[in-house]
Amino acid sequence: MANYPSKRLRRLRYHPVVRDMVRETYLRKEDLIYPLFVAPGEKVKNEVKSMPGVYQMSIDILLEECKELVDLEIPAIILFGIPEKKDAVGSEAYDDNGIIQRAVRAIKAKTELKNLLVITDVCLCEYTDHGHCGVLDGENILNDETVNLLAREAVSHAKAGADIIAPSDMMDGRVATIRKALDYKQFTHVPIMSYAVKYASGYYGPFRDAADSAPSFGDRRSHQMDTANTEEAIREAESDIEEGADIIMVKPAGAYLDVIYRVKQKFGMPTAAYQVSGEYSMIKAAGKMDWIDEERVMMESLTAIKRAGADMILTYFAKDAAKLIEKH
């Protein structure tokens, strides 16, 4: 093998055209999924304090936003709901007239939005008055009771017209139960994108402002994963795949690139990564302070997530990134 001085890796880096030719990873608009927060009311567009450029929107505004996304050629959204009323068992989550169900029906009623893929997040934490992801017995989240409600929520979303169901709760056995419930109600064609490997993370802080879903006591460590673990991530992904997940997700993304890489290598499944609220807000904040070049760091972070092995990325930067991809 030739080596230095005849071998020089810089040779392919001098000319911009050559650099483009040897690029290995591309961020495409087709990879992007944009999270949206739906709130009750009309003409509501409240900016989330900790997430500049991200809004809670009522359904009328949401429809305008979706039109903009279609124009930007962003192919998919994931919806989170802020309900009218919260209670101990998160009733609005599985109410056919709940905020998400109404939002999905409104989107699906618009012919100009017919190519927009609508994914719905399935969890109870936005709908419970205590902010936990399930039904409580004292301070303990009851697994199996919660899973049954999540299955009702999933079916209710599918009935409203959701294209993909994305359970984010991390209860045991929820993928199998949701699959069974969807199939029983004739939604055999609706895929499940499971938040298979979701870590208990400080990076979710701003989301809890956006979705008004902070737990009133304790944290989510009894169901979400410990940052320190990766063998367990493999077991989590494996069990969701066995239970029937069609797409598996790793979340957060940036601090867990090794996990994305391992999961993709090991299972070869369609793999999603969620660049979460804190990842977004940190880049936005540093950009606003002029401490970093926001666009550059945004594209670098998204490209790194793809390079690690993600096929698709849920990101609050979807619109900004789509505009930049356009220019290239």
List residues with catalytic annotation.
198, 251
Lookup result for tokens 């989301």: 207
Q: What residues numbered 213-252 form the site for ligand PBG, per CB under 6 A?
A: 220
- CB-nearer residue toward ligand PBG: 125 or 263: 125
What's the CA gap between 285 and 33, in Å, rounded?
22
253 near ligand PBG, rule: CB under 6 A = no
187 near ligand PBG, rule: CB under 6 A = no
What's the CA gap between 20 and 195, in Å, rounded?
34
User: What stretch of H or E contains 208?
Assistant: helix 205-210
- CB-nearer residue toward ligand PBG: 113 or 304: 304
315 near ligand PBG, rule: CB under 6 A = no
> Minimum CB separation from ligand PBG for residue 207, in Å?
3
> Minimum CB separation from ligand PBG for residue 82, in Å?
12
125 near Zn ion, rule: CB under 5 A = yes
Specify the 3-state DSSP secondary structure of 8.
coil
**Other CB atoms within 10 A of residue 6 CB:** 6
Q: What residues numbered 104-123 form the site for ligand PBG, per CB under 6 A?
A: 121, 123
Specify the 3-state DSSP secondary structure of 212.
coil
> Minimum CB separation from ligand PBG for residue 81, in Å?
11
What's the CA gap between 90 and 212, in Å, rounded?
13
User: What stretch of H or E contains 33?
Assistant: strand 32-38
Q: What residues numbered 188-207 form the site for ligand PBG, per CB under 6 A?
A: 204, 207
Binding-site partner at residue 100 among Zn ion, ligand PBG, none, CB < 5 to 8 Å by type: none
- Could you check whether the bond before residue 5 is cis, i.e. omega within 30 degrees of 0? yes
**Other CB atoms within 10 A of residue 119 CB:** 23
User: Would you tell me which residues interact with ligand PBG (CB under 6 A)?
Assistant: 121, 123, 125, 133, 168-169, 204, 207-208, 220, 276-277
User: Would you tell me which residues interact with Zn ion (CB under 5 A)?
Assistant: 123, 125, 133
